Chains A and B, each alone.
Chain A
Amino acid sequence: MASSAVSDRPGRTPHRVSGRLFAAGSSAFIEASVEFGVGSVCLIGVDGNMGAIRSLTEVTIDRPVVGLPRRLRFPGGEVFESDDHDKFEAALAYAEGRSKRKSGALGLGPVKLIALALLAVLLPVGVFLAMPYAADGVARALPRSIDNAIGASAFEEMDGRLFRASRLAPKTKSNLNRLFREIVDASALDPDDVRLRLRMASHKGLNDNAIALPDGTIVLFDGLVEIAENEDELAGVLAHEIGHIEHRHSLRQAVRAAGLGLLVTIFVGDSASLLEELAAAGVFATELSYSREFETEADVTSARIMRRLGRDPEAMVLLLRRLHRDCNDDCEESGFWSTHPGLRERMESVGAGTE
């Protein structure tokens, strides 16, 4: 009897794995075994009859999942299934001429696992630290026309709706325009790239402020002019705003924010909701830190322009101190959630480089 002959010599068939065979496209199955040779596999019926010897390249072997049956698909559509993982893996390793894979759900030794975990911590941190540089590179490669388009549409949005006409005296206005031209000439900006223009306006909430739009428009609000005690203070503010435009801060902030969003999507993904909340808070704090970085960059540019004109680079900070006199020491230090650096730090930024 063939079947007894097979079971009589299990020692001589170490690469035989028992299991069940589904006929092609059927849910019915029979008991069967497969025997692996080097580079080949052969089906063996319960009666011991051997099927055709197949090359391993002809069959498909499903990727293993811990604890689940191993499956081998024959070209004719038959599927062999075995619950004997260890034997299947050993026989397959023999057939493929390699060593046995680590079993278990981790499938990794402790050294590899620790290395992997370490890499999984270091890599995102590294990428997170490197991202701003990459994003700035992307922003630099983009043409100035994008800045201009964003600025122009932003200006149209705000003009007339948010801004009211300036109530400054015509004399003051012409003085400010003259001052602005003086600063523009001292800046490093190429007039072919950006056309800088000053617009004076009044506004209820924003009144003691100035803003820079990426297309080169600088909006100076009446309140700031009224509180200023000398020309240098306003000159410093205008030079600071030109610094924002020169270093393309709006665009860089947008590209960095997009990069940050991408990193969060990649590394946090769709996990538990609390982690997403934390990630959102982290993104917000990081964007604020970028904002503070850009403010410092604009302050340094302002000081450079002011020094070139023989004006006082620290005057701007004195104006800001007067503006924020109510908040005393709170405005002196940078906070985790502040958009601008503290005034003490800004004084250092504009003072740096003075001989």
Chain B
Amino acid sequence: MSDLTAVGPASFRPIRHEFVFTGDARTYFAICLRTFLLAVVTFGIYDAWGTVERRRYRMGNTQVAGHGFDYHASPIVLLIGRFVAIGVIIGIQLSVTFLPPDILGYISPAFSLLVLFGMPFVVLRSLRFHVRNTSYRNIRFDFVGGYWGAFFVTIIAPFLVGITVGLIFPWYRAKYQKYIWNNVKLGRSGFSLEMPMWPLYRAFIVTAVLGILLTVGYFALAFPGSFHLASALDIGSSVQIELLLIALTLIYALALAAVMFIFTTALRNTTGRNLKLEGGHSFGSNVHSMKLAWIVLSRGLLATVTLGLLLPWATIQIHRYLVSETALLANGDLDRFVAAEVDPGGAAVSEFGAMEGIADGVFSGI
């Protein structure tokens, strides 16, 4: 009998590897400072190199089972993408300014159609660009999602959310996550994601109820209350009432923002806990919504009031927390991943990469 338990499912108990962030905010700050200064003196051109270096630092220090991730995007490709994006924006602005209204009347519906059908393409290419340029232990990730899948999650699903006054929002977010993860591969091993809906709907209802309560409370206090409160506290001056209102509004805005984290955290955890990687690997995600809200809001506030000076520090703090609450449940060792094809780095491949980078530039530019 004891033999049976030994060879049963218990013997396939996965090995738990926690994700860790091994970088530090000081180094990241120095990288940001140098790349920012170089970007300024080169009129923004160097920022393409800076963006890649910063991302490589963040990803390389995001480690699991002793190895970090790497990012391989070519700065030149990013740069071309940005030029194209700026060209597109300038083109649009010029045509809006200089074209006569009657011609613009003909062009704008065609342009709207172009945006409608072009947007999923750009989102897809941008996603694919980032995923394909990411690697772990010498194996590149791949993204194999198609256009109509992207069209569904970027155009049709948001439209359905709109006509159902947001009631199917959790379904839409789940659909989006599934579109992404069911199309990501690590080499030849595919990821797969099944999303249970109940945790998402539970979080959605809690978020909505708290959000409504907060809003009702705010309006009940702020408008009629501001005068009663003023007389109750015996402060007559309108300046003090103004200040009181501003403080109340600030508290309301922060509380509402914190409440929103209940849903986003549930989405993140549900995705993480249900994600599988071919070969019997799975993941864990244990982010605490209020802890995340505190980290993001407090660090974000500090970054804002310092005009972005503390943004690198805030970025690292948030990233470190998210990484630390993530785990890989590996089925055995991680030596068996195989690249989809040995990338020869040929010209055709980089040409293709350039197209994707351009799509990415357009996306981030708009």
Interface residues, chain A, with chain B CB atoms under 8 Å away: 22, 24-29, 60, 62-63, 65-69, 71, 77, 79, 104-108, 113, 116-117, 119-120, 123-124, 127, 146, 149-150, 153, 157, 254, 258, 265-267, 269-275, 278
Contacts and interface: CB of A to CB of B under 8 A. Distances in A.
Given A77-B342, A275-B308, A120 B41 contact: yes
Contacts of A119: 37, 41
Contacts of B27: 66-67, 105
B95 interface: no
A150 B97 CA distance: 8
Given A22-B137, A150-B98, A275-B307, A108 B34 contact: yes
Contacts of B305: 274
Interface in B273-331: 303-308, 311
Contacts of B345: 60
B338 A25 contact: yes
A106 B30 CA distance: 5
A70 B97 CA distance: 51
B31 interface: yes
Given A105-B27, A106-B30, A116-B41, A68 B311 contact: no
B97 to A, nearest CB: 7
Given A27-B334, A65-B56, 17 more contacts: A27-B136, A27-B138, A63-B53, A66-B30, A77-B344, A105-B31, A106-B33, A127-B43, A149-B100, A150-B97, A150-B98, A254-B97, A265-B44, A267-B44, A270-B364, A272-B306, A275-B307
A107 B29 CA distance: 13
30 contacts: A25-B138, A25-B187, A25-B341, A26-B138, A26-B337, A27-B136, A27-B335, A27-B338, A28-B335, A60-B345, A65-B53, A65-B56, A65-B60, A66-B27, A67-B23, A68-B61, A77-B343, A104-B30, A113-B34, A119-B41, A120-B41, A123-B40, A149-B98, A149-B100, A150-B98, A153-B100, A265-B44, A267-B40, A272-B308, A275-B307
Interface of B: 22-23, 26-31, 33-34, 36-38, 40-41, 43-44, 47, 53, 56-57, 60-61, 68, 70, 86, 90, 93, 97-98, 100-101, 136-139, 187, 303-308, 311, 334-339, 341-345, 364
Contacts, number: 129
A58 to B, nearest CB: 12
Nearest to B333: A28
Given A25-B342, A26-B138, A116 B44 contact: no
Given A27-B139, A68-B60, A272 B303 contact: yes
Contact of A107 (B34, B44, B311): B34
A280 B97 CA distance: 20
A326 to B, nearest CB: 26
Contact of B86 (A77, A265, A267): A265
Contacts of A278: 307
Given A120-B40, A146-B98, A269-B47, A27 B34 contact: no
A26 B338 contact: yes
B70 to A, nearest CB: 8
A27 B98 contact: no
Contact of B34 (A29, A60, A105, A254): A105
